[in-house]
Amino acid sequence: MPYQTQFADIAYPDESGQPCALMFRVAITASSERLAIVHLLHLNPAYQSPMTSHIVRDQVLNRILDSQLRGVPLKSVRLVVQENDKQVMFPIEVDFHDYIARGNPYDATHITTGRGTFSERVAIRSESVIAGRARVHTAHAKPVPVPKDIADALR
C-alpha cells in the first residue's frame, strides 16, 4: 500500500527574492522498487511556480531532500509538480561539481587529448548519489507525464 505524508507548507524566494509559498508532501510507492515522490503543489498564482521556474524548483527540491529524505539514494526519488489540474514529473540531475567538491566517491580517468594536454573523465555510480549529500538540479529537465504507479501513489 502506498504511503503519503500530510501536505506541509514551505516558503521560498522567487527569482527576484520575493517571498512565496507552496505545499509539499512525500509519497512512497507500493511497487517492488519502492520510490519516494516529492510532490510540490503550487496553489497561489501570484507566487512564482516551480512548474515554470527551474530556480524555484531546484531550491525547494534541495531543501526537501536535505531535510526530509537525507540518506535516501537519489535513484529512488522522483519529483512531481502540480499546478491546478496539471501534474508533471521532472527528471532530477546531480550537480557533479558540488558532488565532487563535497568529497563524495567517484572514479576519474586521465585522457590525453592531444598536443600534450590532458582531460579528466569522471564517472559516478548511481548508488553512490545520496539525497542531502550533493545539490541536484532540474534546469535542463523537460517535464514528462507522471507514470501510473507514481500517479497511484499520489491519489
In a domain, 125, yes or no: no
Q: Is the pLDDT of residue 114 over 80?
A: no
In a domain, 116, yes or no: no
How many Cβ atoms are within 10 Å of 121's Cβ, its own excluded?
A: 9
In a domain, 105, yes or no: no
Q: Is the pLDDT of residue 65 over 80?
A: yes
In a domain, 36, yes or no: yes
What pLDDT, on the 0 to 100 scale, is given for residue 20?
A: 98
pLDDT averaged over every residue in the chain: 94
Q: Is the pLDDT of residue 36 over 80?
A: yes
Q: Tally the domains of the chain.
A: 1
What pLDDT, on the 0 to 100 scale, is given for residue 117?
A: 84
Tell me how far apart the alpha carbons of residues 55 and 28 are, in angstroms, rounded to a whole number: 25
| H/E stretch holding 4 | strand 3-4
Is the Cβ–Cβ distance between 31 and 10 less than 8 Å?
Answer: no
Beta-ladder partners of 23: 9, 41
Q: Is the pLDDT of residue 12 over 90?
A: yes
In a domain, 120, yes or no: no
In a domain, 109, yes or no: no
In a domain, 115, yes or no: no
Per-residue cell: 27 = 509519497
Kindly indicate the confidence band of residue 148, based on its pLDDT and cuts at 50, 70 and 90.
very high
CA neighbor of 80 nearest in space, from 43, 59, 111, 51: 51
- Domain interval for residue 134: 3-95+130-154
